[in-house]
Amino acid sequence: MKHATKATLTRFEPLLQRIRRTGLKEKSLGVFYRKSKPFLHFHEDPKGLFADLVRGADFDRYPVNTPEEQKRLIAAIDGEAPPDPI
């Protein structure tokens, strides 16, 4: 699975705007840090766009292709939801 391209991320700008409002630092398009540590980035494949979010020592992968999936990611960023198994 490759990192998401600028063209793909541009299609998800409303989601990126919501993530920016959480206070995370966007080091480059779609790559977010919490304090000085990597926290969130995106991958794409034929099945769609996926967010890798730090949970503990590892990244958990979240699909973010539907409004409901995006809400789940935002809740996870806020610490309110467990990861969705893929």
Domain assignment present for residue 82? The answer is no
First to last CA, the chain: 14
Domain assignment present for residue 71? The answer is yes
pLDDT at residue 25 above 90? yes
Predicted confidence band at 82 (pLDDT cuts at 50, 70, 90)? low
Q: Give this prediction's pTM.
A: 0.86
Domain assignment present for residue 32? The answer is yes
Domain assignment present for residue 56? The answer is yes
CA distance 3 to 80: 26
Structure tokens at 85: 């198994």
Domain assignment present for residue 63? The answer is yes
Residues 64 and 19: beta-carbon distance below 8 Å: no
How many separate domains does the chain show?
1
Q: What percent of the chain has pLDDT over 70?
A: 92
Range of the domain at 22: 2-77
pLDDT: which is higher, 28 or 82: 28
Nearest in space to 18 (alpha carbons), one of 85, 77, 60, 68: 77
Domain assignment present for residue 12? The answer is yes
